[in-house]
Amino acid sequence: MASTTKRRPPGKLGAYRAKRDFARTPEPAGRVRRRPPAGTQRFVVQRHRARRLHYDLRLEIGGVLASWAVPKGPTLDPKARRLAVHVEDHPLDYFDFEGVIPEGYGAGDVIVWDWGTWEPADGRKDPERAVADGELHFDLHGEKLGGRFVLVRTKTNADGKESWLLLHKHDEAAEPGWDPEDHPASVKSGRTNDDLRPKKERTAAKKADDGAARPPRPLRFTNVDKILFPARPGEAPVTKGEFVRYYAEIAPTILRYLADRPVNMHRYPDGADRPGFWHKAAPEHAPQWMTRWRNGEADPGETECYFVLDSPEALAWVANFGALELHPWTSTVRDPHAPTWALIDLDPGEKTTWDELLLLARLHRTALEHLGVEARPKVTGRRGLQIWVPVTEGRYTFDDTRAWVEKLSRTIGSLVPELVSWAWQKRDRDGRARLDYTQNAINKTLVAPYSTRPAPGAPVSVPLEWDELDDPGLRPDRWTIRTVFDRLADAGDPLAPLVGMAQELPEL
């Protein structure tokens, strides 16, 4: 007898990918991901000025972003009825996408107008089933939108295009007359769609916070044939020109980890095989169009003015400046004392083997899964591993995140004391690994995802899915600037779904 179980159609992202040329558009290719049930999922609303202005409502359902185009935008007004056209599913990597889509499908500028979490209302049926049946009741918990919404399918035309109705219920969050156009700024970057428009289309040049103009389109680079990274066996060395081009091309991916954050640079102007040095201050000779942030709390002698890297041009400039490593703060310029990530740094000792480091990472995986905490591991590009845990911005202090990570790591370290030392200095650790919780402090940083590291071949720090810790071919320096784009095309960015995630840390 044939099964009566309804199977989901294969290739959820097939329609999305078929409409896009990822060699031309900065949009992520992505993949369908299964995340462990957490009770709530994320949502995003993007304001998209294509041929016509509209808002894209996207709900995380079944490993993708189920999407509706809402021409007049969602509203808190319970009397308003909004048309919502069901469009193709988008990858989870699209959650924080901002940028300009070139000519072709969906050409125009996109900002993250709102984001947060959502949940089915009153424990209603499975969301995938509800969407298939044409009626979804859900609660939003965003920065602009809140309360109960309903999506109802009204008709399906001959081509299969579905028209839905979006409305807000009469509840405590309802607000008569509420207009999304009164709230135009991005919740991610603070920018408007106008800020993303090409310079030639603007009525006036956009000014940065210090009043400077945006970058000129070509930039001038020096000594592009200079070797910055020695060769790996069987490969050619990496030149400065190739390195600058890498940061320009990886910009749509890496900028999600740099947005609104001061950046500490580790510079190697003479190449990765020569000594480097930390450079935190934005140099006076830097172009005025580069965004800066001034730390009004800096003590005498401390850095006051930092770069905030917010464009491909800015990344290319610091690459030309010899910044081989980029280390963003774990807090933003909005509130430097409020971390958005809790960091677990698995720092190997001289005697620590790769298998031992993987064991420590898997123990953290088990603990975090038991606690119901969302996190992702990341190879550093050198010898180590890190685990990045998103936390609700403004909910915790650095003292809070440091204490939580310390308690977790000390519990894990007690299971394998022969592998772990808590000594501060490496010389006192007898070659053992340190589970470093001290990076959870203001202006303490770890290398950014997709930043290069100063080693032969230009290795890159790359986020992982948890199950990749079991891959026998995994190595901390497995990917380089020449191979990481194939990795992104095949696997997407596993850490991207956690950017901006609101998450409470459970008691330990």
The 10s digit of each residue's pLDDT in 18-39 is 877 776 677 777 766 655 444 4
- Domain membership flag for residue 480: yes
Per-residue pLDDT tens for 369-390?
999 999 999 999 999 999 999 9
Per-residue pLDDT tens for 231-247?
999 999 999 999 999 99
Mean pLDDT of 308-315: 92
Residues 149 and 283 both lie in one domain = no
CATH number of the CATH domain containing 251: 3.90.920.10
- Domain membership flag for residue 8: no
Residues 161 and 218 both lie in one domain = no
* pLDDT band, residue 161 (cuts 50/70/90): confident
Residues 82 and 188 both lie in one domain = yes
Least confident of 187-196, 260-269, 282-291: 187-196
What is the structure's pLDDT at 17?
A: 79
Residues 113 and 178 both lie in one domain = yes
User: For all residues of the chain together, what is the average pLDDT?
Assistant: 88
Single pTM value for the model = 0.66
What is the structure's pLDDT at 50?
A: 86
CATH number of the CATH domain containing 391: 3.30.70.3300
Q: 85, 89, 75: which is closest to 18 by C-alpha?
A: 89
Report the chain's terminal Cα–Cα distance, integer Å.
50
Q: How many domains does the chain have?
A: 3
Contact (CB, 8 A) for 147 and 171 = yes
Residues 289 and 412 both lie in one domain = no
Report DSSP state, residue 470.
Answer: G
Residues 328 and 246 both lie in one domain = yes
* Among candidate residues 309, 332, 355, the one where a domain is terminated: 332
CA dihedral 391, 393, 394, 400 (to 10 degrees): 30
- Domain membership flag for residue 506: no
Contact (CB, 8 A) for 42 and 118 = yes
Residues 177 and 58 both lie in one domain = yes
Residues 173 and 226 both lie in one domain = no
- Domain membership flag for residue 37: yes
* CB-CB neighbours of 151 under 10 Å: 23
Contact (CB, 8 A) for 422 and 437 = no
Residues 51 and 171 both lie in one domain = yes
Domain coverage including residue 416: 339-498
* pLDDT band, residue 455 (cuts 50/70/90): very high
- Domain membership flag for residue 504: no
What is the structure's pLDDT at 105?
A: 73
* Among candidate residues 169, 196, 223, the one where a domain is terminated: 196
Q: In angstroms, how far is CA 58 from the centroid of its own chain?
A: 17
Contact (CB, 8 A) for 192 and 185 = yes
* Among candidate residues 300, 332, 364, the one where a domain is terminated: 332
- Domain membership flag for residue 382: yes
Residues 309 and 382 both lie in one domain = no
**Hey, what are 329's tokens?**
């703060």
What is the structure's pLDDT at 252?
A: 86
Contact (CB, 8 A) for 92 and 55 = no
Give the C-alpha separation, 153 to 132, whole Å: 10
What is the structure's pLDDT at 40?
A: 61
Per-residue pLDDT tens for 78-116?
999 999 999 999 998 888 888 888 777 778 899 999 999
Say if residue 218's pLDDT is above 60: yes
Report DSSP state, residue 188.
Answer: T
Residues 157 and 23 both lie in one domain = yes
Strand order in the sheet with 385-390: 434-436, 341-347, 385-390, 376-379, 462-463
Residues 222 and 171 both lie in one domain = no
- Domain membership flag for residue 5: no
- Domain membership flag for residue 201: no
